[in-house]
Amino acid sequence: MRRNLRADFVVKTLVALQARIAERFPGAGLAAVAQDLVEVARTTADRARAVSRPYVLLRGAIALMSAAGIAIGAWALSHVRWQNLLEGDFLDASQSLESVINLLLLLTAGVWFLMSLEQRLKRGRVLKDLHELRAFAHVIDMHQLTKDPTVILSRGPSTQSSPTREMTRFQLTRYLEYCAEMLALIGKLAALYGERTPDTEVLATVNDVEELSTSLGRKIWQKITILSALEDDAQSGA
């Protein structure tokens, strides 16, 4: 049984969803958003795989610096006047040891900086991608914002500033369902990064994107539920 999220399956699902939107609502802005999201999904799949791969050159530099540190440390220790320490000349020996210790501390700090650099570079790159997914979630929410289920059935008078509403009940339901599906898939794209890095800041941002997508999707499903309930009331009243 597979326990990991497959990036290719997420992309394949988004491609199918984009085709469904384009066929149901040709020329609609939501279809263009879905097409952009497909491209982002493909990029996200590649970047998520890259996150789990090591930076070979950087790790090579760490290995070289570590080896150089060991060699320099051994060379410095070999030049410490241990005989003076045995003879009781602690001042001269301590000065030599202090120089060696300071050198080793500097080399250790350099190695630690390079070791943390890989994680920081990956974190910055992933956080930028997650912010892009968050922005997509808000764009989708804007597209469904004016899709009011009560207007479909009531057909009350509109004003000059009222948005154009030409969808049937069936079309509006499908439109809202498409938005909810896109939001759910955005959460899955964010989860791809969460599976490939243990970075706590990245995981927290992944959870934020998933919670945002779930929250916005919940609002859409509430509209669908209201639409269904209003239709049932209209039919029973008839």
pLDDT score recorded for residue 106: 75
Q: Which domain holds residue 41?
A: 7-54+121-237
Query: Is residue 68 included in any domain, yes or no?
Result: no
Query: Is residue 153 included in any domain, yes or no?
Result: yes
Residue 58 has pLDDT above 80, yes or no: no
The count of domains in the chain is 1
Query: Is residue 85 included in any domain, yes or no?
Result: no
How many CB atoms neighbour CB 151 within 10 A?
Answer: 16
Query: Is residue 45 included in any domain, yes or no?
Result: yes
Rounded to 5°, angle at Cα 181 from 176 and 184? 130
Query: Is residue 202 included in any domain, yes or no?
Result: yes
The mean pLDDT value of the chain amounts to 80
In the chain, pLDDT over 90 holds for what percent of residues? 36
pLDDT score recorded for residue 90: 55
Average pLDDT over residues 165-186: 89
- Alpha-carbon gap, residue 44 to 176, rounded angstroms: 25
pLDDT score recorded for residue 204: 93
pLDDT score recorded for residue 211: 95
The burial class, CB within 10 Å (0-12 / 13-18 / 19+), for 185 is buried
Most confident range (mean pLDDT) of 25-34, 43-52, 211-220 is 211-220
pLDDT score recorded for residue 102: 73
* CATH assignment at residue 222: 1.20.1050
Query: Is residue 32 included in any domain, yes or no?
Result: yes
pLDDT digits (tens, 9 = 90+) for 104-162: 777 777 777 777 777 888 888 899 999 999 999 999 999 888 887 777 666 566 666 66
Q: pLDDT band at 71, cuts 50/70/90?
A: confident
- H helix or E strand, kind and range, residue 111: helix 90-144
Q: pLDDT band at 233, cuts 50/70/90?
A: low
- Alpha-carbon gap, residue 118 to 95, rounded angstroms: 36
Query: Is residue 96 included in any domain, yes or no?
Result: no
pLDDT score recorded for residue 1: 45
The burial class, CB within 10 Å (0-12 / 13-18 / 19+), for 207 is middle
Query: Is residue 116 included in any domain, yes or no?
Result: no
